[in-house]
Copies of this chain bind each other. A is one copy, B any other.
Amino acid sequence: MTSEDSSRTPPGKDVAPQPLRGFRDYPPPEAGARSEIRRRMRAAARRAGFRELETPSVEPLDLYREKSGDEIASQVWAFRDKGDREVALTPETTPSLARIFAGRAASEPLPVKWFTVARLWRYEEPQAGRTREFLQFNLDILGVGGLEAEVDVLAAAGLALDAAGAAGLYAFRVNDRALAEGMGRALGAREGVRFFRAVDQFRKMDRSAFLRELETAGLAADSARDLADLFATVGPGLSAATLAGFFDRIRDWGLDSAALAGADRLRRLATMAEAAGLGDRWVFDPTVVRGLAYYTSSVFEGFARSGDGRALFGGGRYDRLVELFGGPPTPAVGLAIGDQTLEQLLRSAGRWPDGEPLLDFYVVAMTPELRAEALRLTAELRSAGRSVDLDLMGRSTTRQLREAGRRARRAVLIAPRELERGVVLVRDLTTGDQAEQPRSSVGPWA
């Protein structure tokens, strides 16, 4: 240690205790609850026949160029690595999944049903329910051209949301891009992307602003009014049963065959969703188009029945993405549930889980000489599968018991005379009941 060293400001003193803007720390008990939710959602995905895939957190920037749609592309955290390659922190897992599948397509039996649980990053303005780093739970089915894939992925999303604690709190909004695009064409929209962008704004702006958006997309004023009127009558979405009414209203719009095929898919999807037990959660919503450029027909989102309207998840069919990555033409459907909006939903409904149950035992040494014995017993109980802790700070018996009361369901008291007789005292910290147990047997202490 030189004199220069000691005069130097400790480097950490300048570091704020907060994480970077848009990032969150999850100290206990939050991290435990998040872990528990992930565990339940993973189990739900497996129950629905999905297998886990783990994708890298850094990918070549090229993976996201022109594939993810304007919105994501502008939000990618890209940088040059030390080898001067342009790389990106992954903003979504679907391109990685498509890349990985493309490399294995020859040997992979279809259908592929994969799920991922991944941290992702987007450089966007932080706000409630939107962070720059977030966790996403993805479900994808590859190789299925039929609507069975849409139904299965929505069913799995339902299982996962229910497992997370959100049962009854959400529904699915479903639409078809071919129908939406065809409606746009019928109304004189110049190009699909701009029309989608306008449609997507319907629930986010007032009527006059929405009309202006539609006119920018090429609609005549009366066409724009017709569409706004139509959307307004749909309200929060139509159930499968009332879908027919919507199609009646646009029957004389002169929709082309692509649009009519989209309408037909929606009708069949509604019937299948009903069979799959999703009828109570399925609504048609013609304003759902989703931001990602690669969706080809079905699009859907999950939304909280009460809440600010931010999507719980988004997804759709992306039949051309795998081919874009050099794989064989492969139909695909997927969706992604974000952790931030799900957390908001569960918290606001009082369903946020307790990820940290009490310990089974807290081992108390009644005298300092018995600490080695406490160590030994703790090790044995932990090896037998119990959750156990003990004092590490040389605290008094009183303080050990207080700590036990705070953290455990039962205390094991090691006292000199009892230990000589080969027993310890087990105290139920809820009832206060106390009983002797043989030291040698840990089995009965379940």
A62: which B residues are within 8 A, CB to CB? 11, 14-15
Q: Which B residues are CB-close (under 8 A) to A162?
A: 383
- The interface of chain A, by Cβ under 8 A from chain B, is 10-21, 23-32, 34-35, 39, 42, 46-49, 51-60, 62-63, 65-67, 77, 79-83, 85, 87, 89, 96, 98-100, 102-104, 109-111, 113-114, 116, 119, 121, 123, 133, 141, 143-144, 146, 148-149, 151-152, 155, 159, 162, 271-272, 275-278, 321, 323-326, 355-356, 359, 372-373, 375-376, 378-380, 382-383, 385-389, 391-394, 406-407
Q: Once the chains are docked, how many angstroms separate the CA of A47 from the CA of B145?
A: 46
Is the Cβ of A57 less than 8 Å from the Cβ of B57?
Answer: yes
Given A12-B67, A382-B48, CB of A393 within 8 Å of CB of B133: no
- Nearest CB of chain B from residue A383's CB, rounded to whole Å: 7
A28, A326, A376: residue with the most chain B Cβ atoms closer than 10 Å: A28
5 A-B pairs with least C-beta separation? A17-B103, A49-B389, A79-B79, A26-B54, A12-B324
Contact of A359 among B49, B56, B99, B133 (CB under 8 A): B49
Residues of chain B within 8 A of A159, CB atoms compared: 382-383
Chain B contacts for A66, CB-based, 8 A: 11
Assess the B59–A19 pair: CB atoms within 8 A.
yes
A146 pairs with B392, CB closer than 8 A: yes
Task: Compute how far the CA of A380 lies from the CA of B81 in the bound complex, rounded to whole angstroms.
Answer: 50
B-side contacts of A325, CB under 8 Å: 12-13, 15, 17
Query: Complex Cα distance A79/B81, Å?
Result: 8
A113 and B426 CA atoms in complex are apart in Å by: 24
Q: Which of B47, B52, B56, B387 contacts A35 (CB 8 A)?
A: B52
Q: How long is the Cα–Cα vector from A272 to B100 in the complex, in angstroms?
A: 49
The smallest C-beta distance from A252 to any residue of chain B, in angstroms, reads 28
Q: Within the oligomer, what is the number of copies of this chain?
A: 2
Residues of B within 8 A of A14 (CB): 62
Question: Is the pair A151, B48 in contact by a Cβ cutoff of 8 Å?
Answer: no
Nearest chain B residue, comparing its CB with the CB of A76: B82
Residues of B within 8 A of A121 (CB): 57-58
The answer to whether A53 touches B35, judged by C-beta atoms less than 8 angstroms apart, is no
Q: Is the CB of B23 within 8 A of A51?
A: no
CB pair B375 A276 closer than 8 Å: yes
Q: Specify which chain B residues have a CB less than 8 angstroms from the CB of A54 in the assembled complex.
A: 25-26, 30-31, 34-35
B149→A277 contact, CB < 8 A: no
A56 touches B99 (CB 8 A): no
Contact (Cβ within 8 A) B47 A385: yes
CA distance A23 to B66 in the complex (A): 23
Within 8 Å CB of A110, what residues of B?
Answer: 393
Are A52 and B32 in contact (CB-based, < 8 A)? Answer: yes
Most buried by B among A29, A47, A392: A392
Residues of B within 8 A of A80 (CB): 79
